[in-house]
Structure formats: structure tokens, C-alpha cells
């Protein structure tokens, strides 16, 4: 399966989500793919983020995901394996065999931190073992801190930490390239400097014997006690998936790792591929990473808008994606949906609107039952197929090329039946599309919404194995219809239940339907 999208964002953390939010608000279709391994995953709280100080990192990401989804942007759990040019698009290959065909790619994959090879460091990383005075320095103020210097850049944060605590000791584990003058300056300022390799880190009882702290065991057997250990990491940009477009990371000026090189707009050397966040600059904390993602998202929006302007086009990514899906042979069975038949058979035929009609099996069946049918869809290709079938059967159905989220998609007309069968349209914050459907129901008319039961979407997937190709949270589902009917107050809900699909399960995931049938009484 290949879904067409304006922008594929690889990495759904600070940089990726901020970029996606900008793009979704520019009416660009955006799909974020994230394998849930952000750099700060071990940290319980995130510090230095104005407006969200101390928030758990996972909470910030959850808020960001919901903001992206509120504009119809999708956030998929999965992993990007490969990016390759394919005609005028970039094919983004995902675990599980599916792919995205994107006009632009935003790489926001961050970095991995490689810690010094000292036993006991890795398991304490992000808690007692820290690297960034701006992230954790306040939390260790006045505490016993041992810094283990392993690289020439190792002493870079030391003056900051010295200012936060007067109980700092520097252990020079590897003196290669470390400036002896800098060490002398530190000692002269009152910071003990120990020139010794570290053998391992272990828990140790403190002098009060009631508390445990960290024991830093040196090669000569001496043990230093600390509440926190400061180390520097080497970093590696997560860009393996870009080899197919000829992109790789280049050495960072610090000598501590590699990053992706970009220009001031976030563009890489490969047209259409942009990058933001730690993958281009490992020194960025969460707030600057989000700001950078936001800025690069805006530049991507400009680049798409200029391209469309030059082509004199105003393409709808939603229509392109659906048209591509309808490009092949007939997509659906051609049979009307069983739940539609069950719910509509007792209604007196009148005017019906079938939203998201696709190839129109439901619309044709309604027309054959005596309804005067308007069948709407975002895909003109699907509607052509419906017109052909209607002509073949000698049935009259009016087709309407409309996006549910546009203004007055149904021209202010009202219908005795508005039916949405397994249809989906993206969320907007004010619920424009949803309101248009409700507005289209005449007084005394029926709204019928049938959707797949999405209980499966709550199940966790292993991103290394598979990518879930649809994000229900980015679309208007039955729960949002119910909330809107409640808020409106002028409706009687006759049916709201989950029941087996009359046609049987389509797959393990599509066993049950959620059915909402309501009548406008107000
Ligand atoms: C232990 C620790 C604690 C920190 N504490 C703080 C703090 O308190 N305050 C602060 O401001 N900063 C802190 N930072 C820095 C912070 O982690 C970074 O600034 C921030 O994570 C950078 O955001 P990003 O979006 O660029 O990358 P990341 O947050 O690392 O996100 C990259 C995303 O890309 C995804 N990804 C990668 N490859 C793929 C792929 N192939 N397919 C799909 N998805 C992929 C990952 O799952 C991840 O979600 C800390 C860092 C560490 C290591």
C-alpha cells in the first residue's frame, strides 16, 4: 500500500511534531511516522521549556500529537526504513511493507547518544548520570557531582556545573586532547581534579548509611561517592534510512559525532528532503528543537506553495491520495453495505446524501429503492466510475465532487437521509466537515454513520515489525458525532451500538461496526 501525502515527517517528537503542526495548519496533508524512541526517553521530566517547565517528555509529545491530529495530520506508530526518489515523489518505505509517496520529507529523527564505555553508566543514563547542565543542573545543585571527562570537549560544561555546586570533582578518565591549562584553572578555582581511569559505577552506601549514592570506582581501587555523574556523549545522527537518496551524516565540528548538514531553511543537499532538531544540531534542547522544526515546517510550506503557484495548480492532497487508490481496478465489492440496508429499509424514500460515496454501491442501491440520491466524494475518479455504473444500470444518481471540509460542500441543501458509510474526513479544530453533515439533515431526517470499530487501534504495535497505516485520531469518528449531537441538543439518537458487520469480518481488525442513527427533532 502506498499513500500519497504532501509531507512525510520521519520522527514524531519535538522537531517533527512542531513541523507537522505548521504544515497541517497550511492545509498540507502530513503523515508523521514515529518509532517511539526519543532521545530523552529515560528522563522523567523535561526542564528549560518555557510554558511547560517540568512536564514529562511523553506528556509533551502526547499534547503535540493531539495538536497535529486536531488539524487532520496523522501520527503513525512505525518505522521508516528507506527513502528513495520515485518520479516526482519521495517513496518513504515503512516497516510492514507499506510506503508513503511524499512531495517533501522532513527528517526529525534526532540522535543516539554513545556513552563512554564504563560499566554502570548506561543503566543510570538520564537519571543519576547526566550530560546537560541546562536539562538537569538545577536538580543537582549543591549535590556531590563527579564529572568524568573522556574527550577534549569534556570540560565544556564544567564551569556551569561549578557554579551550581561547590561539591564538584572532575575525574580525567582519558586525558587525550584535554587542555592541561584548563585543568590547572579548574584546580586553582577550587575544583578537585583526579587523573585516573574509572573502572565502574556502582551503588554505594553513603556516610549516613541510610542513603545510597553512586560509587565511582577508579582503576587504583579508590572509590569516590557522588549523587550525580556528569559525562559527555558521542552522538550519531539517525539517518541510515536516507542512504537511498544519497544522504549521510557528516562530522560535527566538535569532533564528537556526525550530523546532517542543512542550509538556513533546513533543506539538505537532496531536493525535497529537509531536516530539523537534534539530527542537525545535537546541542538543541527540546524548546529549540521544536522551534527549529516549526521554522523548517514553515519553509517546507513555502516551497510547496511556490511550486504549486508556478504550476498554476492548487492540488488537494486528499483528492490525489483517493484518486491514486481508485486508479486500479474496482476497489470495493460493488455490493451495498449490510448495515445501510438494515437501517434504511424501514425509512420512507426521500432525498438522500451519501457522503464519501466512493464507487457508489450504496448510492446506487438507495436510488434503486426509490431514493433521490446525491452522492458526494473527494475523488473525481471514483465519481466517474459511479456515473458509468449508474448509466450501465439505468439508475439516476447525482454525483457531487466535494470535500466535506470545504465551505458549504452540499450547497445548503437538506436531505431526509445523510449517510456516511465507513467514510472518513480529517478533523478540523472547529469541526467544519462534521457540522456540514449535520446541517445537511432536514428536520425529521436521519443521520446514519457507520464506522469500523477501532478497538484494534488501541493495541500496541512493534514499530520494528509494522507501521500502522491509519491514524483514527486524525479523522472525525463516531464519538465526535455523538459529542456534536449532544452539544446541539436537537437530535434523538435511536441507535448507537457496536455490532458484528453483516457481511462478516474483512480482516482481524474489521470485525465489528459502530452504528449511529439519529433523527433531527429540533
Ligand atoms: C537523558 C536526556 C535528558 C534530556 N533532558 C532534557 C531536558 O530536561 N530539557 C530539554 O530541553 N532537553 C533535554 N534533553 C534533550 C532532548 O532530548 C532533545 O533536545 C530533543 O529530544 C530533541 O528533539 P528531536 O525532535 O530533535 O529528537 P528526538 O526527541 O530524539 O526525537 C526523534 C524521534 O524520531 C523517531 N525516529 C528516529 N528514527 C526513526 C525512524 N527511522 N522511523 C520512525 N521514527 C524514527 C524517534 O522515535 C523519536 O521520537 C535531554 C536529552 C537526554 C539524552
pLDDT in tens, 287-323: 999 999 999 999 999 999 999 999 999 999 889 999 9
User: Is the pLDDT confidence value at 345 over 60?
Assistant: yes
Given this model, what pLDDT does residue 206 score?
Answer: 67
User: Is the pLDDT confidence value at 444 over 70?
Assistant: yes
156 Cα distance to chain centroid:
34
Mean pLDDT to the nearest integer, 139-149: 97
All residues at 6 or more sequence positions from 184 whose CB lies less than 8 Å from its CB, including other chains: none
Q: What is the atom index within ligand 1 of the atom nearest the CA of 47?
A: 8
Residue nearest to atom 21 of ligand 1 (CA): 39
Rounded distance, CA 246 to CA 289, Å? 25
Instruction: Specify which residues 415 forms β-bridges with.
Output: 441
Given this model, what pLDDT does residue 46 score?
Answer: 97
Look at 460 and 376; give whichever has higher pLDDT: 376
Ligand 1: which of 15, 20, 40, 121 to mutate, judged by most atoms within 8 Å of the beta carbon? 40
Question: CA nearest 131: which of 151, 105, 102?
Answer: 151
Sign of the four-CA dihedral 222, 228, 230, 235 = positive
Mean pLDDT to the nearest integer, 224-229: 96
| Percentage above 70 pLDDT, the chain | 97
Q: What is the atom index within ligand 1 of the atom nearest the CA of 284?
A: 19
- Cα-flanking dihedrals φ and ψ of residue 191, to 5°? -95, 120
Rounded distance, CA 113 to CA 3, Å? 33
Given this model, what pLDDT does residue 208 score?
Answer: 62
Rounded distance, CA 167 to CA 146, Å? 8
Look at 333 and 517; give whichever has higher pLDDT: 517
Given this model, what pLDDT does residue 212 score?
Answer: 75
- Read off the pLDDT of residues 7-66 as tens digits, 9 standing for 90 and up: 999 999 999 999 999 999 999 999 999 999 999 999 999 999 999 999 999 999 999 999
Rounded distance, CA 354 to CA 338, Å? 15
Whole-angstrom distance between the N-terminal and C-terminal Cα of the chain?
44
| Percentage above 90 pLDDT, the chain | 89
Q: Residue 327 — very low, low, confident or very high, per pLDDT cuts 50/70/90?
A: confident
C-alpha cell of residue 286:
527540546
- Read off the pLDDT of residues 86-134 as tens digits, 9 standing for 90 and up: 999 999 999 999 999 999 999 999 999 999 999 999 999 999 999 999 9
Q: Residue 501 — very low, low, confident or very high, per pLDDT cuts 50/70/90?
A: confident
Ligand 1: which of 113, 135, 140 to mutate, judged by most atoms within 8 Å of the beta carbon? 135
User: Is the pLDDT confidence value at 502 over 90?
Assistant: no
C-alpha cell of residue 189:
578555582
Q: Residue 210 — very low, low, confident or very high, per pLDDT cuts 50/70/90?
A: low
> Which residue reads 524512541 in cell numbers?
37
Question: CA nearest 318: which of 94, 1, 27, 70?
Answer: 27
All domains of the chain in start order, with CATH: 2-111+235-315 (3.50.50.60), 116-231 (3.50.50.60), 331-520 (3.40.50.150)
The residues lining ligand 1, judged by C-beta closer than 6 Å to any ligand atom, are 10-16, 33-40, 42-43, 46-49, 79-80, 108-110, 113, 125-126, 132, 135, 238, 241, 277-278, 284-287, 289
Question: CA nearest 32: which of 40, 24, 42?
Answer: 24
Question: CA nearest 357: which of 375, 374, 342, 345?
Answer: 375
Ligand 1: which of 68, 81, 109, 131 to mutate, judged by most atoms within 8 Å of the beta carbon? 109
Given this model, what pLDDT does residue 509 score?
Answer: 59
Amino acid at each position: 500500500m502506498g499513500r500519497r501525502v504532501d509531507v512525510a515527517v520521519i520522527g514524531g517528537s519535538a522537531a517533527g511534531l512542531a513541523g507537522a503542526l505548521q504544515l497541517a495548519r497550511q492545509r498540507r496533508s502530513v503523515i508523521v511516522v514515529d518509532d517511539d524512541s526519543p532521545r530523552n526517553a529515560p528522563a522523567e521530566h523535561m526542564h528549560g521549556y518555557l510554558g511547560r517547565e517540568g512536564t514529562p517528555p511523553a506528556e509533551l509529545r502526547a499534547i503535540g500529537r493531539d495538536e497535529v491530529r486536531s488539524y487532520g495530520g496523522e501520527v503513525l506508530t512505525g518505522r521508516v526504513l528507506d527513502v528513495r526518489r520515485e518520479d516526482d515523489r519521495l517513496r518513504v518505505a515503512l516497516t510492514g511493507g507499506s510506503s508513503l509517496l511524499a512531495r517533501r520529507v522532513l527528517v526529525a529523527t534526532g540522535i543516539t547518544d554513545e556513552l563512554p564505555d564504563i560499566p554502570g553508566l548506561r543503566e543510570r543514563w538520564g537519571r543519576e548520570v547526566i550530560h546537560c547542565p541546562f536539562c538537569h543542573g538545577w536538580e543537582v545543585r549543591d549535590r556531590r557531582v563527579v564529572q568524568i571527562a573522556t574527550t577534549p570537549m569534556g570540560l565544556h560544561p564544567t564551569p556551569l556545573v561549578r557554579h551550581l555546586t561547590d561539591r564538584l570533582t572532575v575525574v580525567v578518565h582519558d586525558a587525550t586532547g584535554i587542555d592541561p591549562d584548563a585543568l590547572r584553572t579548574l584546580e586553582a578555582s577550587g575544583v578537585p581534579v583526579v587523573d585516573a581511569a574509572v573502572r565502574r559505577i556502582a551503588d554505594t552506601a553513603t556516610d549516613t548509611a541510610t542513603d545510597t549514592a553512586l560509587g565511582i570506582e577508579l582503576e587504583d581501587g579508590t572509590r569516590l561517592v557522588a549523587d550525580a555523574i556528569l559525562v559527555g556523549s558521542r552522538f550519531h545522527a539517525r539517518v541510515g534510512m536516507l542512504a537511498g537518496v544519497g544522504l549521510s551524516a557528516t562530522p560535527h565540528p566538535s569532533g564528537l559525532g556526525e550530523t546532517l548538514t542543512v542550509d538556513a531553511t533546513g533543506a539538505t543537499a537532496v531536493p525535497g528532503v529537509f531536516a530539523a532538531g537534534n539530527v542537525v544540531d545535537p546541542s538543541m534542547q527540546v524548546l529549540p528543537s521544536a522551534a527549529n522544526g516549526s521554522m523548517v515546517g514553515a519553509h517546507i510550506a513555502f516551497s510547496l506553495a511556490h511550486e504549486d503557484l508556478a504550476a498554476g495548480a492548487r492540488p488537494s492532497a486528499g483528492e490525489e491520495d483517493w484518486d491514486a487508490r481508485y486508479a486500479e481496478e474496482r476497489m470495493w465489492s460493488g455490493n451495498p453495505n449490510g448495515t445501510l440496508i438494515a437501517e434504511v429499509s424501514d425509512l420512507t424514500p426521500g432525498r438522500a446524501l451519501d457522503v464519501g460515496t466512493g464507487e457508489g454501491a450504496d448510492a446506487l442501491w438507495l436510488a434503486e429503492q426509490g431514493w433521490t440520491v446525491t452522492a458526494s466524494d473527494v475523488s473525481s475518479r471514483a465519481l466517474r466510475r459511479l456515473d458509468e455504473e449508474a448509466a450501465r444500470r439505468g439508475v439516476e444518481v447525482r454525483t457531487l465532487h466535494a470535500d466535506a471540509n470545504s465551505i458549504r460542500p452540499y450547497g445548503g441543501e437538506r436531505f431526509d437521509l445523510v449517510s456516511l458509510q465507513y467514510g472518513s474526513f480529517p478533523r478540523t479544530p472547529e469541526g467544519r466537515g462534521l457540522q456540514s453533515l449535520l446541517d445537511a439533515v432536514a428536520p425529521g431526517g436521519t443521520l446514519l454513520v457507520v464506522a469500523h470499530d477501532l478497538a484494534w487501534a488501541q493495541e500496541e504495535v512493534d514499530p520494528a515489525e509494522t507501521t500502522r497505516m491509519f491514524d483514527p485520531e486524525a479523522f472525525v469518528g463516531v464519538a465526535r458525532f455523538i459529542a456534536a449531537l449532544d452539544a446541539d441538543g436537537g437530535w434523538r439518537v435511536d441507535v448507537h451500538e457496536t455490532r458484528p458487520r453483516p457481511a462478516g469480518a474483512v480482516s482481524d481488525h474489521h470485525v465489528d461496526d459502530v452504528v449511529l442513527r439519529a433523527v433531527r427533532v429540533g
